[in-house]
Structure 1
């Protein structure tokens, strides 16, 4: 059979113009690419979902494992109301806990402090550290932290010295950076301040002598060219005072139970109720016979003060202190000012049959630091 060159050329031209094979190959490659992308997307989604599930489980475990315990309180009062409370909080977990809020008897503390060590407050930027919902106190893992709650408002003070050695021309204004500006420690709070001459401690007049730029934490001393009266012959001391509201409520009575709620960053709430002890006092009249050197016996009357029926429902009583007053005929005399200690005591200086208007009070304290006075609960005892 014979093929002409013209036929061969036509077949080649037809082959080159036929794109069905290319389309099939391209479609196959595109399908493979789509499959790979889909598989990668599914794998990423599965990986992301697994990570989210693991994170959720980890968060859930952290919430469930968080365990704080208020182990003790140390309240301080004025005889009627509590002025402050120190809370000792123990972290029983192996991870740190962050306290977001503290509630006492229905009122929240807006600002409070904590101790670095016994009697020494935490420090932040050269000021006592102040904690709040925005600045959370940390209770370290497996350790305790003592928190100081003050029912009255806080007054925080700081100071620094302005070194004028770089102010070489008194006629020109000169600016200094304030390293201890209160906004570094407490944010944009209102504050009072005054500037003194370091040389003699006299306060400088604010008007016309300097200005403070809070945003940039700078003070500018006005030169004589701007009407200022300050010079570079002395340094200057600036004193700051910041006022912060501590407690949103009224200070609780010393005779009321104290209910404490601690809320953490995980929204866990840990509660503890501290109940004051119940003072119960009894006065016993006693007679003893005293024998003199001649063998003559003379009756002697005295009092016994007995607090053995006092109770503490959530612990035990650690101290009993008595106060005793009597009418001397020229006014009231204090025989004991809560400094006669003991569950059962015998006061001296009292004649049960001749002294008039003898008044007796009892103050007891329990193992939580809660205190009660008989006069606040049921009234003082009076011997007419």
Structure 2
């Protein structure tokens, strides 16, 4: 082939545009197909995630298996709720409501050890942001305290490395409360090892962000020295229940709200105490063969009822006027549905008051004095 013919052949680009266009079309097709496949894959994953979430929501199943309230005779002061997770996945409590109020902060403990949960060396305090975990197929006991939860932490600060009193001494705190509770406000106090308080102003500063405390040397106007270790105390006050304290006479309505926005409700009704006093006389044989009458009381609580379960305990309190003041014969330590108390002469003892405390299978209690008043023998 002549040289000119070769040049003409090499410079002939009439088919390049067609080939390039074909390759570009193939590339666009591949990209489009990949994008569609990615979109389908993403949609399928989202659909699978949604289905999994819906199943988790539907399968979540919590049960309040017991309630253990403690009161002062008129209002509840604290309540322990034992919560059982009947699902194979963990659940997380976002909020707890008792009657008409929500708990802003609460605590919990492990049923096996009975010890309160801890977090970063501090008592664990649960909130909507720090949710309580109920492990799968296990139980957890929640402690609801109607008064504020006060938490304290302490650490000892050694000053052996503070070699020059004229210079500032910087110490990295090891138990700063923000490591456990975020930036929740707290009060701190610094004292000598013997317990005497230090003067904060002009002696020390604390940087919460860096978790460091600085003892100001004499060159900075401070007057503390390196001859003593120092103790720092952190105090945090968590508002627990802002509502009105529930009465011991009222039912307790519980709502558990989980991270899946499921709500599990349970109502616990106090038992109804009813009691009557029976006067009895028995004839006792004397040593000379004669008989003399002996009077006594029978206290009967068999008519007491519980609408949502059964009564498990009957406890009696008895006080009488001894002439020199009131004498306590029994302080809810006489137990039994039907009892015969000793130490009372029903015909000669006066101003005798009798109270009955009943407890049901849920742990709810009720006193006769709260419902209808004490029984009285005048």
TM-score bin, normalised by smaller chain? over 0.9
What do residues 202-261 of structure 1 show as CA deviations (whole Å, max 9, x unaligned)? Answer: 221112111111121111101111121111112111111111101121221111111111
What TM-score does the superposition give when structure 2 sets the normalisation length? 0.94
For the residue of structure 2 that corresponds to 1:300, the secondary structure is strand
Q: Does 2:151 align with 1:120?
A: no
Q: Matched residues in 1 for 2:183 and 2:264: separation?
A: 31
2:106 counterpart of 1:78: no
Runs of 4+ aligned structure 1 residues displaced above 4 Å come to: 8-20
- Tell me, in whole angstroms, the C-alpha distance in 2 between the residues paired with 1:184 and 1:11: 84
Which of the pair has more CA radius of gyration? 1
State the match for 2:218 in structure 1: 224
1:59 to 2:53 alignment:
yes
Question: How is 1:189-200 mapped onto 2 (pairs within 5 angstroms)?
Answer: 189-198=184-193, 200=194
Superposed, 1:1-384 pairs within 5 Å as 21-116=15-110, 117-198=112-193, 200-384=194-378
Cα deviation digits, residues 279-316 of structure 1 (max 9, x gap): 11011111111121222222222110000111112222
Q: Give, in whole Å, the separation in 2 of the partners of 1:108 and 1:289.
A: 61
CA-CA distance at 1:102 after TM superposition = 0.7
Instruction: Give the Å deviation of 1:264.
Output: 0.8
Deviation of 1:13 (Å)? 9.6
Change (3 A) 1:61 1:75: same
Structure-1-length-normalised TM-score: 0.93
Q: Are the structure 2 counterparts of residues 83 and 361 from structure 1 closer, same or farther at C-alpha, using a change threshold of 3 Å?
A: same
- Give the corresponding residue for 1:3: none
Give me the CA root mean square deviation: 2.0
- Further displaced range: 331-340 or 174-183: 331-340
Gaps of 5+ in 2: none
